[in-house]
């Protein structure tokens, strides 16, 4: 229910307020909306549609390294507690961006985004979460703690995508951004 309150009702409230103020709104979305497999992803997809239909702009994020929802602080806590690093699957691939890149994407969307558009940072190819965990473990100097595979959770996919095939067919590349 919280996903519906936040992603659907919250988006509706902000859209109404933006309209009342006559201002542009930039919706923060996620790569999980591409072929959604969870209620969170489905409600974020619905929010994207609401924003598009209202003539506002969305940005679609990959995983933001170091953010509150990032795996990095989780791994740091595990290392601080002398625990092994937990990872889901050796085959798991994700798109990563930094906090400054995420901020730049939102600002760029506010500057150049046209009604109904979605802007996505070109993050290159997806990266291996397993290899990232290995690198962090090595740099921590705590390699003796090792790593522990915990498996994929319900709704997770091995490789996330930034766009659907249909979106790719009409996306336009400007600098290091894709615009749908």
The proportion of the chain whose per-residue pLDDT surpasses 90, expressed as a percent, equals: 81
Model pLDDT, residue 154? 85
- Is 90 exceeded by the pLDDT of residue 140? yes
- Is 90 exceeded by the pLDDT of residue 153? no
Task: Specify the fold of 2-179.
Answer: Rossmann fold (3.40.50)
Residues 124-140 have a mean pLDDT of 93
Model pLDDT, residue 116? 96
Pairing of strands 85-87, 177-179: unpaired
Contact 152, 92 (CB under 8 A): yes
Model pLDDT, residue 69? 78
Domain ranges of the chain: 2-179
Kind plus residue range of the DSSP H or E element containing 130: helix 129-140
pLDDT band per the 50, 70, 90 thresholds, residue 12: very high
For the segment 18-70, what is each residue's pLDDT rounded down to a tens digit? Answer: 999 999 999 999 999 999 999 999 999 999 999 999 999 999 988 998 888 78
The proportion of the chain whose per-residue pLDDT surpasses 70, expressed as a percent, equals: 100
Please give the positions annotated as active site. 32
pLDDT band per the 50, 70, 90 thresholds, residue 9: very high
pTM of the prediction?
A: 0.85
CA distance 82 to 32: 32
Residues 129-148 have a mean pLDDT of 94
- Is 90 exceeded by the pLDDT of residue 150? yes
- Is 90 exceeded by the pLDDT of residue 17? yes
> 71-80 and 129-140 helices cross at what angle (nearest 10)?
40
Pairing of strands 57-61, 26-30: parallel
């Amino acid at each position: 229910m919280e996903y519906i309150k936040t992603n659907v009702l919250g988006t509706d409230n902000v859209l109404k307020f933006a309209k009342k103020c006559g201002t542009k709104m930039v919706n923060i979305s996620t790569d999980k909306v591409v072929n959604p497999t969870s209620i969170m992803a489905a409600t974020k997809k619905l929010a994207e549609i609401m924003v598009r239909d209202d003539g506002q702009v969305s940005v679609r994020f990959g995983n933001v390294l170091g953010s509150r929802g990032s795996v990095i602080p989780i791994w740091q806590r595990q290392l601080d507690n002398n625990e092994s690093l937990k990872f889901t699957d050796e085959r798991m691939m994700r798109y990563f961006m930094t906090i400054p890149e995420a901020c730049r994407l939102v600002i760029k969307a506010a500057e150049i985004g046209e009604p109904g558009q979605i802007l996505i940072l070109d993050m290159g190819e997806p990266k291996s979460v397993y290899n990232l965990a290995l690198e962090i473990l090595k740099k921590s100097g705590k390699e003796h703690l090792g790593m522990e595979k915990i498996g994929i959770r319900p709704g997770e996919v091995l490789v996330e995508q930034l766009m659907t095939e249909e979106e790719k067919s009409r996306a336009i590349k400007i600098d290091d951004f894709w615009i749908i």
